[in-house]
Amino acid sequence: MSAGLSADVRGSARKRPALGTVLVLLLACQLVATDVYLPALPQIAGQFGGRSGPVQWTLTAFILAFGLAQLAIGWRADRIGRRPLLLGGLTLYVVAAAMGALAGGLSMLIASRVLLGMAAAACVIGARAVIRDQYAGPAGMGVMARSMTGMGMIGVLSPLAGGLVTQWLGWHWTLALVAGFGALAWLAVWRGLPETRLPVAAAAAADHADATGYWAMVRHPRFLASSLLAGISFSGAMCFLLLSPFVFIRDFGMSRVAYGAVPAACTLAFLVGTVLCRRSLRRHAVPRVARMGALLSLAGGAGQLLLAQAGVHTPWALLLPQCVYMLGHGFHQPCGQGGAVEPFPAQAGRAAAASGFIITAIAFVAGQLVSHSQLGASATLVLAMSGISAALGLLAFAGMERAYRRTGAVQA
């Protein structure tokens, strides 16, 4: 995208103040669908047999559907446009959440979560494609970071609201709350988001509707390194989401309302990380910003491990290092998600889909490993976070700059 075109589009975007709000709501769809629901997991487990494994599948199935659906959705974002995809995806989002709220059995609940994952995939892909339509280079990552800051604000409130709703109304109403959020996002898109797809993207979609475009993307060094960065970082957040209700509610005896503050604190740390990332991108090249985030991730993972080895078994010994990790997560997601899409302005939908699939696949594998661990939930969490943070450090310090240099994208 030329600098002139980018400036023109940015100028037109400033005339639509609702656009920023729309992007925040769209990116938050995945977060709301998981975080509002988290405090309800132990209650659902109690209703459907008491075992955590089958109930964790309601979250795992969501993530699996979210990842797989992206490969089918990405090319449609380039072919039919962003607005129709988003309106259709949000309609399914509301229907699926309502279906879950009415579920009387575990099978129906899992099916509703699969549909909800597919719908959330359309929302996130569409939002990332809109950002790439309008911004190039570090500017796009800055916009991604700013949108994720707003998303983080919603994320702070989501588990708190979920805990209160679960405590007073029951788990069914958490999914009713998700449906209400989807309806709000649908209205925001309908009123505030015009079509942003560039004409060149429509032409590219018509000429390259097969899977060969995905293979070319995966071989691109910057795309692959950025997707791995975001995916490994997201796997740490996902492992914590899967294990934390059982660690804090079951092992430490927290109430569901009190537990809502746990993911809220992590999301608040993520929010702060996105702000720091956005400021850092104004002064430093992307690989250096990724290394800053990796230092925070390493500190968080090492902190949990060292405290566990020292015999400190308290909620704070897990939560505080996890918040440090989430600060780094706030660096990795804008750099990773924005960096993966940035080299493909004419195929932003498919690039967002391919990177999103990689990100989600990594998180899914990590989630399966921790869900089937024979260790206790606390020990599994500590080992998972220490390993994930080490992998992030290796990639950020050894892989990101090399990938950017190979594509001539590292700034002095």
Nearest partner of 290 among 386, 400, 390, judged by Cα: 400
Note whether residue 9 is domain-resident. no
Note whether residue 212 is domain-resident. yes
The Cβ of residue 101 has, within 10 Å, a number of other Cβ atoms equal to 18
Residue numbers of the chain with a pLDDT score lower than 50: 1-17, 201-212, 411-412
Q: What is the pTM of this model?
A: 0.75
E strand or H helix at 282: none
Range of the domain at 183: 16-406
Note whether residue 143 is domain-resident. yes
Note whether residue 7 is domain-resident. no
The Cβ of residue 372 has, within 10 Å, a number of other Cβ atoms equal to 10
Tokens of 264: 């809220």
Note whether residue 186 is domain-resident. yes
Pairwise CA distance, residues 16 & 193, whole Å: 9
Q: What is the CATH number of the domain that holds 220?
A: 1.20.1250.20
Pairwise CA distance, residues 238 & 236, whole Å: 5
Number of domains in the chain: 1
Pairwise CA distance, residues 146 & 387, whole Å: 29
- At residue 211, the pLDDT reads 44
- Using only C-alpha atoms, what is the Rg of the chain? 20
Pairwise CA distance, residues 124 & 338, whole Å: 12
How far lies 230's CA from each of 190, 193, 260, 356, 362, in Å? 30, 27, 25, 9, 9
Note whether residue 197 is domain-resident. yes
Note whether residue 311 is domain-resident. yes
| 294 contacts 243 by C-beta, under 8 angstroms | no
Note whether residue 1 is domain-resident. no
DSSP letter for each residue of 152-193? HHHHHHHHHHHHHHHHHT-THHHHHHHHHHHHHHHHHHHHH-
Nearest partner of 336 among 237, 240, 242, judged by Cα: 237
